[in-house]
């Protein structure tokens, strides 16, 4: 019982362990107060241009676009990288349907578009060389060149001013599961931002299918009794630079760029002169 008094002695308030805990807590509190009182410095706007590529022109939104109907789509025959596209021309139903509709009734795929085969052959050579970049489809129509490139893994910018064709492109984006690869613009491509007027003629032998012509061309077609109606529409013109950031590069461009006021358009790195 000689050491019984030690059990009854009150604990020391400032033991080394308690002092260490108080010191650590105070240090953490000071660090927190110091960091929370600092005002973060803003990131310069120029930094966003290099870190986050951005376009100055907003692309066409397929999710907000009314669904086209009826939809007649099928896979394309005879291409190394198969894809589907949706018809915009049904022919004259029921007497003279489009040839691809007849092929569907016979259990055959759509006929191979020449442009699709050419695009895949050119891009396959570039792919073998390790080249990468954007494929630009100017006057995309219903996307036969666009999807030929997209199913190969290439990113595509598609320019198309006709709304009915844009609806069919949106169909193809869903059918081919290439929403992350294809960006669509409801516009014509040019060397400047602006507007043009294009004219759409409806032929007597086609159901709902129009062709783009100049007013002079439509006049000649009407004199030959081929056109039963036409309309005109204002169309925006976009430059390639407005649709791509500086960090993004052209790989290959298909199609023709619209001329504005008779002047030949200029574009970055002359992408139309691909070998």
State pLDDT tens for residues 169-186. Answer: 999 999 999 999 999 999
Where are the extended beta strands (E) located within the chain?
A: 73-75, 84-86, 91-92, 96-97, 134-138, 155-159, 182-185, 188-189, 194-203, 210-213, 227-238, 250-255
Half-sphere exposure of 234 (CA within 13 A, CB side): 3
Percent of the chain beyond pLDDT 70?
Answer: 61
Among 10-19, 115-124, 130-139, 233-242, name the one with the lowest average pLDDT.
10-19
Q: Which residue in this structure is represented by tokens 């052209």?
A: 250
Average pLDDT score, the chain: 75
Provide the pLDDT confidence category of residue 33 given band limits of 50, 70 and 90: confident
* pLDDT score, position 8: 54
| β-sheet with 194-203: strand ranges across | 188-189, 227-238, 194-203, 210-213
Looking at the predicted structure, is the pLDDT value of residue 40 above 70?
A: no
Token pair, residue 170, equals 């949106």
State pLDDT tens for residues 141-173. Answer: 999 999 999 999 999 999 999 899 999 999 999
Q: Which residue has the higher pLDDT, 49 or 210?
A: 210
* pLDDT score, position 9: 56
Q: Which residue has the higher pLDDT, 56 or 20?
A: 20
State how far the Cα of 259 lies from the Cα of 110, in Å rounded to an integer: 33
State pLDDT tens for residues 209-244. Answer: 444 444 455 455 555 555 545 567 788 888 887 887
Looking at the predicted structure, is the pLDDT value of residue 15 above 60?
A: yes
Half-sphere exposure of 189 (CA within 13 A, CB side): 25
* pLDDT score, position 255: 59
Q: Is the peptide bond before 94 cis (omega within 30 degrees of 0)?
A: yes
Provide the pLDDT confidence category of residue 274 given band limits of 50, 70 and 90: very low
Provide the pLDDT confidence category of residue 61 given band limits of 50, 70 and 90: very high
* pLDDT score, position 50: 30
Average pLDDT score over residue span 244-263: 54
* pLDDT score, position 160: 92
State pLDDT tens for residues 75-90. Answer: 999 999 999 999 998 9
State how far the Cα of 139 lies from the Cα of 75, in Å rounded to an integer: 21
């Amino acid at each position: 019982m000689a050491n019984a008094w030690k059990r009854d002695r009150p604990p020391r308030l400032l033991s080394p362990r308690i002092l260490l805990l108080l010191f650590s807590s105070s240090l953490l509190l000071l660090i927190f107060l110091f960091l929370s009182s600092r005002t973060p410095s803003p990131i310069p706007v120029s930094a966003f241009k290099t870190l986050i590529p951005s376009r100055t022109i907003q692309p066409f939104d397929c999710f907000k676009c009314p669904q086209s109907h009826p939809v007649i789509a099928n896979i394309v025959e005879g291409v190394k990288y198969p894809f589907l596209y949706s018809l915009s021309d049904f022919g004259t139903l029921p007497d003279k349907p489009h040839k691809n509709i007849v092929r569907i009734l016979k259990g055959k795929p759509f006929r191979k578009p020449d442009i699709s085969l050419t695009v895949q052959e050119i891009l396959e050579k570039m792919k073998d060389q390790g080249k990468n970049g954007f494929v630009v489809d100017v006057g995309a129509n219903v996307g036969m060149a666009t999807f030929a490139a997209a199913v190969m893994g290439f990113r595509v910018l598609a320019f198309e001013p006709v709304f009915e064709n844009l609806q069919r492109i949106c169909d193809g984006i869903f059918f081919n599961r290439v929403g992350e690869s294809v960006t669509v613009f409801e516009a014509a491509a040019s060397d400047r931002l602006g507007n043009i007027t294009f004219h759409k003629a409806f032929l007597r032998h086609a159901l709902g299918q129009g062709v783009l012509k100049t007013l002079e061309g439509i006049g000649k077609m009407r004199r030959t009794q081929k056109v039963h109606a036409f309309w005109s529409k204002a169309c925006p013109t976009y430059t390639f630079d407005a649709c791509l950031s500086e960090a993004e590069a052209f790989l290959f461009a298909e199609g023709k760029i619209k001329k504005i006021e008779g002047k030949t358009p200029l574009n970055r790195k002359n992408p139309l002169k691909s070998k």
